[in-house]
Amino acid sequence: MAALPVLVLVLLLACGGPRAAGQKRKEMVLSEKVSQLMEWTSKRSVIRMNGDKFRRLVKAPPRNYSVIVMFTALQPHRQCVVCKQADEEYQILANSWRYSSAFTNKIFFAMVDFDEGSDVFQMLNMNSAPTFINFPAKGKPKRGDTYELQVRGFAAEQLARWVADRTDVNIRVIRPPNYAGPLMLGLLLAVIGGLVYLRGSNLDFLYNKTGWAFAALCFVLAMTSGQMWNHIRGPPYAHKNPHTGQVNYIHGSSQAQFVAETHIVLLFMSTDGGVTLGMVLLHEAATSDMDVGKRKIMCIAGIGLVVFFFSWLLSVFRSKYHGYPYSFLMS
């Protein structure tokens, strides 16, 4: 009986003691986690997770990998248009990483849908979607690990920059080929070629100042309405409040905008365009050789356009820049 403690001590020393056994078990659990994630990633770039998978593979230690998780609501009855648009960009980012030559098990991309993991939303006190969070390899997510969707937009390139900032993993975004641009360019060239062919004997229309001025004005309106900002930042089309269900088409901050916001501006030929058109009518009314009645109509129409669109411009500016004190007709 006296030899029994000695035998136990020898066995513990041979195995490296309780600490070594715990470390070995920890390494085995970590290896199983990584193997499972690599297997799922080989089948699908974005791993779909429910509550159990999230708690076991993302929240619970040990973990030596980062997980970028998109919390979303893709089911049709949720009517989250932004979620679908953000998901497309997220898939592009994940595929770019999955098929990159630099792909490693240092970072994984996952998704938690509200209808599949509502308990995860409750656990994280999350009440909006889509939301992107980086769960680092060590420690808990910090403030910077939550992606600023309203400021940056959800374009894959913007997400890639954020991922690089948080994980030091640089992902070169590769988009599927888009033939819309070349097709539109070919159509435009065909139209121009057709006009030149049909009117080859009379090319005076190319020297029409009014036509070129109208084309230039359309280009200016397209640029000033924010289309280039949308192309670079990739903002959501609109925002639906998950609590009230109200859809906002104009962003409430001067630092961001929605795609619908630029469409509204273009639909009304933009506030600047309306004011400009009013000023043109006023100028024509004052300098043209038309009869007095038509000039009065042009003058009234010009004043009306200037007043209406300038008032609308001030109201939109007040909604985006809180505290702006001035308004006219529209509040």
pLDDT, one tens digit for every residue, the chain (331 residues): 455 555 544 444 445 555 666 677 777 788 899 999 999 999 999 999 999 999 999 988 888 999 999 999 998 888 788 888 899 999 999 999 999 888 999 999 999 999 999 999 999 988 888 999 999 988 889 989 999 887 888 889 999 999 999 998 999 998 877 676 688 888 888 887 777 777 666 666 667 777 788 788 777 766 766 777 777 666 777 777 766 777 877 776 666 777 877 777 666 555 556 777 888 888 888 888 888 888 888 889 888 888 888 787 777 777 776 666 777 777 6
Alpha helices in the chain (DSSP H): 3-15, 17-43, 51-54, 81-98, 118-123, 149-152, 156-167, 180-198, 209-224, 227-233, 259-267, 271-287, 292-320
Structure tokens at 286: 């004052």
Write down the pTM of the prediction. 0.56
Structure tokens at 160: 């890639």
C-alpha torsion 114→118→121→126, nearest 10: 60
> Cβ distance 277 to 217 under 8 Å?
no
